Structure 1
Amino acid sequence: MSKLVPLTVIKGAGHEFIPLPQGENATVADFHTIRTKTDAPAHITSGFYKIEAGPARPAHYDFEESKYVLSGQIDVLDEATGITHHLVPGDFAFFHVGSKVKFSTQSQGFAFYAVTRPVRAPHPNLKGREEDTKSRLPTLITMTTCIGYAYFLPKDEILNLEYLDVALEIFYGEGKVEWRMAGDSVMFTSETIDLVGLREMLGDLELTRTSPEFILKMLDFITEGRAPEAN
């Protein structure tokens, strides 16, 4: 990494107005992109950067980093240009492979970053803080679940498992969609086909109960205090 690469800095990036497309209530607003020059597949690591007044902190990059200042001020001396960037809340800086800098501050600074490197220093107070990904919605409400190219149906909703292979072949083609039992559910998977609408397709072939029939059946089980019988 003998060649030094200048930083990319966008002052006030976080303060610019972002218009929403007509009729939409959300949008993305990409403002910087590159092709990574690190090993593939590359890590993507997110974290926070905190600095207080003291000696300058040198860094020579063999990975990429996007840094967004949240509070305070972070001064960055870019050794490729000799320019010192005074980054304040709302400012964005991108560090390329080959960038060489020195970080400092006269007070304190706090920033969010995303980098193409593995974890170096885990946050001491965020270990294990990822929220549980297991659904907490009751089964009666989530009668079907579609996750990408996997689709789950309660086993109790399917009228005849023996005809599933034929139905899937008719609708999707031979070998395109497979199924297997997963506890009290039937799991459908495909490597190439989005399975949204699978339940409705099976309903058209009279292999699943209609929604009202299924809800009434489940309410009967709940009212009578007994579990549904397996098909």
Structure 2
Amino acid sequence: MKETKVKKKKLTLSVSSKKSHSAPYYTQTRGKTSVVIEKKPQRRWGEKKFQSRDNNFNKPKSSDNFISKKSSINRNVDLRKIAEERATKRFKNLNEDNLQQKKSGLGKEKGFTSKREQKLTLSKALDDEALDGRERSLASIRRARLKEKKNQGLEKTKIETKKIVHEVNIPDKITIQELSNRMALQASDIIKHLLGMGVVATINHTIDADTTEYLVKEFGNIPIREKKPD
């Protein structure tokens, strides 16, 4: 068998400092194969370890990401508006149902009332119907009853005093103080009546029989003239 001779090819490495190449490439010159190897510059402090060979870092970023973010924000805003509108509709419907129940007199039992219904909101506090619907306390009811009893007692005493009629003996001359004692009245009432007639008088002022008779009749009493002894 013939021995096959294997020709060995020699490879030569050459570094070109004059030319700047961005990537390795192969050339054939004078029947020899040569490889050009790019020399990497030394990495400075603070720079990234691996940098892409494509010079795309200076290119502006595409606006697709920005548009997608903007569309997602608008979508969230629309969803929030829809949720708020639904919540307001539900709240209005609940208020209308409560008003209808109050008018018809059909209310829920205390055991089955929800926590939301037990809370007092601003609208309920300002509502006149909610204020009128509250139950009165026992203390306020007792006070009202006591006031009614006092008023009834005062009216009864006034009626009783009006019914009493006194028989008053009238002498020739009498003081206002003594006349008030005989009629069971205050002297100030008699003085006020005299001032209305245009007469200025005091407690110790004496009046004649005719004026005393007139005053006794004005206050609803019976005048009796004292007879003079013969």
| Pair member with larger Rg | 2
Choose between structure 1 and 2: higher strand proportion: 1
Q: Sort the TM-score into its range (normalised by shorter chain).
A: under 0.3
Choose between structure 1 and 2: higher helix proportion: 2
TM-score (norm 1): 0.15
TM-score (norm 2): 0.15
